[in-house]
Homo-oligomer: A and B are copies of this chain.
């Protein structure tokens, strides 16, 4: 092993037109994802690109979770990668280098006790001339939040540096960028002219700038331009927003793709040319990286000579969406992909006349078209007349399919057999409604959408197997105050032509639905505030407690009212089991009760109610 050599300076410059293919893949759809790679590679070739890059795990989809531990899936992935390389050549695309994420495995069997079976790798391959030229694995495996990569992958320890038209291009994968002193440092030492990172980095509210800042910092560490290609699309609870970008060696943004849509970001770069004649410097010699790991550079030459000078095209620099538009776009894409990737074409949902189900209906109409949305009005003896009228007005404005199924007779049939009071009687109505949705789902093949928001989910203000039932919960990760904000925002977008919105002729959500006081309408004159603190004070406490893991003392120190803090903590701490029963929904914050929040069900610990 040797110490890192210091960086050398470029001999001269070379041009390269790079295409970042920000595309949507589906977990397990090896053939479909391979076909997508061929199609987007053709587009890149048509655009005159010299190199095209696809996201992390593009060929298998991301995240594959425990599928990586199934030998037959790993083997199918290996064959799919080799077949893809041949197909690209057969289709006349063999000369265009393609970098793509895929599932690999370390040859030589298992890594020992406690290591993942078959030693799977989260890898990126260079395909060229009909063959897989080099593949290397992710160095840093994220194992926090939604990530479980220590469970299913072993670490990589090689850094490929591939010469393309006289430019040395190093490739790394996603989390490799988030650690200081790792492969980026070695990229600098190896004198690469471009660092290419393939990513499947999920959307998170306000994460956007962090990503650009990170790329800028890492480009400076690597001493060269950095091209970042990210996945787009929904996969279970994750939504990938794309936002692929390129920064110069000093961190200056050079190009940026639009969010939440497939896009080929084609950019002409002028890069340091590789020093000719010394392609093997540092090749195959383990070096100590500053992060403590040992990394071996893997040099390959696809084409040694720089291209003749050509006129560069101006780059695309898309503006990121602003706050509410970005969240709404994430919810629409997450909902659309969950419906379609699971083989559904239509959805059914209960429309109560309240704000939550109104927003969910609107998101669904934007996602899959109002003609595929089936709204059911399920009035009970406690439903106000306003609720029914307001729901009917929304059905009319949006052109979704509407149907009314009064539940009074069903409630009575249960009450004839059972003597129920209080919460038991309230919950019964919510469960009867869920039975109706599920019956319509089973009879007609619709996916059931659930209307619960994050505030009620966090506090347990919902009925198990009642309003919490369904296949997908579009606003699961949206606090109530944001539900109102999103509804108001959506109503301002009529005629703006944003590509992820359905072109309704008028405001899709009746104002009266936005303005009314929230109520579950399960007993006479019920109001949310009978049970919960006002959302204006509750939501900020929930954000600090649930998303930031602040304890009671920290919450009080942050300025929240001590009595309300106590009350919110009690509500949240006893709601854990209900949250586990919730269907998946698009994730937009650091913690949404899904895979990113794991707590024991049986837990006797309670936040201390005062300093002791």
Contacts and interface: CB of A to CB of B under 8 A. Distances in A.
Interface stretch (A138-146, A162-170, A200-208, A245-253): A138-146
Interface stretch (A36-44, A352-360, A365-373, A603-611): A603-611
A584 B601 contact: yes
Interface in A583-600: 584, 595, 597-600
Q: How many copies does the complex hold?
A: 2
Nearest to A431: B435
Interface residues of A, number: 93
A554 interface: yes
**5 A-B pairs closest in CB distance:** A72-B551, A28-B605, A424-B442, A413-B413, A29-B604
Nearest to A601: B236
Interface stretch (A324-332, A382-390, A402-410): A402-410
Interface stretch (A12-20, A93-101, A415-423): A415-423
Interface of A: 26-30, 32, 61, 63-67, 69-73, 75-76, 112-114, 116-117, 140, 142-144, 148, 150-151, 175, 178-180, 235-236, 337-338, 341-342, 405-406, 409-410, 412-414, 416-421, 423-424, 427-428, 431-432, 434-436, 438-440, 442-443, 464-465, 469, 471, 549, 551-554, 577, 581, 584, 595, 597-608
A608 B67 contact: no
A607 B67 CA distance: 11
A235 B465 contact: no
A342 B405 contact: no
A179 B427 contact: no
Nearest to A437: B465
A67 B439 contact: no
A235, A439, A464, A581, most chain B CB atoms within 10 A: A439
A178 B140 CA distance: 25
Contact of A179 (B114, B554, B577): B114
B603 A179 contact: no
B30 A597 contact: no
A420 B442 CA distance: 9
A442 B423 contact: yes
Contacts of A443: 418-421, 424
Max count, chain B CB within 10 A of own CB: residue among A28, A117, A608: A28
Nearest to A405: B417
30 contacts: A26-B602, A26-B604, A28-B603, A28-B604, A28-B605, A29-B605, A61-B600, A65-B600, A70-B551, A72-B553, A113-B178, A114-B140, A143-B150, A143-B151, A150-B150, A150-B151, A236-B602, A338-B602, A341-B604, A406-B417, A409-B413, A409-B416, A409-B417, A417-B436, A418-B443, A420-B443, A424-B439, A427-B438, A435-B435, A438-B464
